[in-house]
Amino acid sequence: MSAILAVTNLEKHFGGVHVTRQVNFSMQAGEQSAIIGPNGAGKSTFMNLLTGYHRCDAGKVMFEGRDITNQAPHRIARLGISRAFQVSSIFARMTVAENVRSAVHAQMRRSLSIFGAASRIGIDESGRVLALCGLEGKRDLVAGELAQGDKKRLELAIALAGKPRLLFLDEPTAGMSIDEARGTMELVDRLNRELGLTVLFTEHDMGIVFNHARKLTLMHRGEIIVQGTPEEVRANETAQKVYLGEHQI
């Protein structure tokens, strides 16, 4: 089984601040793993680098054997990588249905279609994604007026509409109630199991991490400290020190 994602020697600095150092990372197809680490560890920056939001200063990112280093975000998205943001990044003035529908249109490569009727294109797929994320009953609500938890579900729905093969989730359960969080992660599990969707998520909630990630990566100050199964990482002394704030690089 080859690596769907292979990152080598990734580096990034902002001004004089080194936020990503010599990161080597890989994922197999169908894997579901998590990146953890204290605040400021560089988890979000890492995702930004992989999805083209920031330029890398050094290193390589390979997806399904292709070099995607420093490609524009829209090109990376088209290759099958999708991403949900930490702070819900949705289209606030459009309805839930319109949000998902536009994502579907983009994935269908129909975004330049000026003659079709938007409400009649891609409705099956939109409906499927809305149902999957439990948003069917809210399809006509304006996205900006949704409750926080619903916004995150919409966030996920938009990411899923792109039919990705690799999905990045930045703190997918932040702001959700326990029930909502459990429901969201169960959905993620199902997608991983049934569709073979490769998932990488960042999380602070250790309960979620241990229940839903098969592999853990601990980052601190832009570096990968420890990698392994949740049990291995939990038992690791360095990891414990990092979380207790005693770890010095």
Partner 1 sequence: MISAVSAPDVRRGALARHSLSVPVAILMFVLFLLVPLLPGEFWTHVSTEVLILGLFAMSFNLLYGYMGQISFGHAAFFGVGAYASAMVFTRLKAAGGGIGMLDFLLSLLAGPPLAAVAALIVGFFCVRLTGIYFAMLTLAFGELLFYIVFSWYSFTKGDDGIQGLLPPLYFQDAVHFYYLTLAIVTLALLAMWRITESPFGYIMRTLRDNQRRAAFLGINVRLHMLINFVIAGSFAGLAGALWGPFSRSVNPGLLGWQESGVAVFMTLIGGAGSFVGPMLGSVIYTLLQAVVKMYTVYWPLTIGTIILLIVLFMPGGVLGLIEKRIKARRERDAGGREA
The residues binding partner 1 (CB under 8 A) are 51, 53, 72-75, 77-78, 82-83, 85, 89-95, 97-98, 101-103, 105-107, 110-119, 121-122, 134, 137-138, 140-142, 145-147, 149-150, 153, 158, 161-162, 179-180, 183-184
CA angle 51, 52, 58 (to 5 degrees): 110
Q: Which is nearer to partner 1, 83 or 215 (CB)?
A: 83
Contact 167, 82 (CB under 8 A): yes
Q: Which is nearer to partner 1, 184 or 217 (CB)?
A: 184
User: Smallest gap, in angstroms, from Cβ of residue 62 to partner 1?
Assistant: 19
User: Smallest gap, in angstroms, from Cβ of residue 49 to partner 1?
Assistant: 14
Q: Which is nearer to partner 1, 9 or 111 (CB)?
A: 111
Q: Which is nearer to partner 1, 146 or 226 (CB)?
A: 146
Residue 125's Cβ-side half-sphere holds a number of Cα atoms within 13 Å equal to: 20
Kindly state the DSSP code that residue 231 receives in the 8-state scheme: H
CA distances from 38 to 19, 31, 151, 246 (A): 13, 23, 25, 12
Q: Which is nearer to partner 1, 92 or 235 (CB)?
A: 92
**For residues 127 and 120, what is the distance between their CA atoms, to the nearest angstrom?**
12
User: Smallest gap, in angstroms, from Cβ of residue 209 to partner 1?
Assistant: 20
User: Smallest gap, in angstroms, from Cβ of residue 193 to partner 1?
Assistant: 18
User: Smallest gap, in angstroms, from Cβ of residue 167 to partner 1?
Assistant: 12
Task: Please give, one letter per residue, the 3-state secondary structure of 82-120.
Answer: EEECCCCCCCCCCEHHHHHHHHHHHHCCCCCCCCCCHHH
Using DSSP's 3-state secondary structure scheme, residue 58 falls into strand
